[in-house]
Chains A and B, each alone.
Chain A
């Protein structure tokens, strides 16, 4: 359904959706915790403490390793200012930082023939923008500016942090559900363990078990939904930074026509790239990290 939205509308709408999705993730996490507690008949504070420990460990690990693993996996190197193309790239990044009112990120180059770029760093003052050599060679300055504005928007919108925490929560949900199901399997349940306090309804037990099986899948899909929303948001914020949506639209056209034959990096962070490095022309799918490229172009051209 075609709808006409300015970038301000799109930004506001995406922010509302993020709040709803993040709330849903928390509901899922707590739902899983209480399902486990219900099935096992453990006291609520015990299950809650278990859940908090598991979640903090997961989020802690993803948090601590976020920037370093991404950079390491991408095999990126800092820009060399004595090469004109790379100097101009650093200039465009500096300009976008001014437009966003943010500190200037460090600029890296990834040695890949594909056209792509990503941003990382949990706070704006530690941010990094990385662009592939293919992007430098094939995009003109206006398109490059659009791509950098998109990445700068990920930084301005704290998307790296959001993705890191969400990946952590998805992991925690999977872990807690797994623990619950295993303990049930090995006879830790309230009926099997003989600790029946008589409060459990058999039907509710079945619902709780089904919930434990479905929650990890549902949380993963929620994460992907969020990732796609944040891509639209970064496109819209990027258009606000350059006041020139056509630059990014043209860059996306080129990306669409460029077959990804040289992907480098970590698959788990595919959502941080401007387009998925492993799969390019994506249909509208609940399993995709990015929205369909044609729809992104259409929305940009409408702004």
Chain B
């Protein structure tokens, strides 16, 4: 009798262990999918942001055409963003664009007519909004990458991470100044 109880206990423990391992394996796959989904959301925001730029540049030109350097900086950063093919590249280009836009909005302060233009105001709201969305999506992306990295580098994830073809992923670089930008104009 005693032997059979031990056998049952061992079987139950084995089943629980197998379930635990399966759920850990599924978690890695789920996090991986979440990362893809999160990145595609960032991508949507980046595209939206790039789409808003030409309109903004046109509007600013109408009031401050001679601010060529600043306008070119924005256009160049936008081109880099459009040409980016990897998340890291897009991320770097977007940081560049954020800086260029920061300069543009700072310059706009000197043009009361431009600041009063409803179109400009609306574009500024939209751009701040997409900028915030990018930075918060990035933050969320990094949160999931952290969970994913923990899952693939700790037991029991390490057992099958390589057989699933999953390894550590890089987080997106978030520049420290990024957080301040949305608050500059309020």
Contacts and interface: CB of A to CB of B under 8 A. Distances in A.
Nearest to B38: A101
Contacts of A128: none
7 contacts: A84-B121, A88-B125, A91-B129, A94-B129, A95-B129, A99-B139, A101-B143
Contacts of A94: 129, 133
Given A94-B129, A99-B139, 5 more contacts: A84-B125, A98-B137, A101-B143, A243-B139, A244-B179
A98 B129 contact: no
Chain B facing A: main interface SS: helix
A244 B140 CA distance: 15
Interface residues of B, number: 18
Query: Most chain-B CB neighbours within 10 Å: which of A84, A94, A98?
Result: A98
Nearest to A95: B132
B25 to A, nearest CB: 22
Contacts of A87: 125
A276 to B, nearest CB: 28
Interface residues of A, number: 18
B186 A140 contact: yes
Nearest to B183: A142
Contacts of B38: 101
Nearest to B129: A91
Contact of B125 (A91, A99, A140): A91
Contacts of A88: 125
B186 A142 contact: yes
B138 to A, nearest CB: 9
Contact of B179 (A91, A101, A141, A243): A243
Interface in B32-81: 38, 41
B182 interface: yes
Nearest to B128: A91
A247 B16 CA distance: 46
Contacts of B139: 99, 243
Given A88-B125, A91-B125, A91-B132, A99 B140 contact: yes
A95 B125 contact: no
A270 B179 CA distance: 33
Interface in A50-98: 84, 87-88, 91-92, 94-96, 98
Contacts of A100: 140
B41 to A, nearest CB: 7
B136 interface: yes
Interface string A105-141: 0000000000000000000000000000000000011
Given A87-B125, A91-B125, A98 B136 contact: yes
A84 B128 CA distance: 14
A98 B125 contact: no
A141 B183 contact: yes
A129 to B, nearest CB: 16
Top 7 A-B pairs ranked by shortest CB distance?
A99-B136, A91-B129, A95-B132, A98-B136, A141-B186, A101-B140, A98-B137
B182 A141 contact: yes
Contacts of A92: 132
B108 to A, nearest CB: 17
A86 to B, nearest CB: 12
Interface string B143-186: 11000000000000000000000000000000000010011001
B186 to A, nearest CB: 5
Nearest to B139: A99
A209 to B, nearest CB: 44
Interface string B100-136: 0000000000000000000001000100110011001
Nearest to A96: B136
A99 B183 CA distance: 17
Contacts of B121: 84
B52 to A, nearest CB: 14
A118 B177 CA distance: 31
A8 B125 CA distance: 32
A96 B139 CA distance: 11
Contacts of B137: 98-99
Contacts of A140: 186
Contacts of A142: 183, 186
A45 B186 CA distance: 64
A241 B182 CA distance: 15
Contacts of B140: 98-101
A88 B137 CA distance: 18
A257 B85 CA distance: 51
A244 B132 CA distance: 13
Nearest to A144: B186
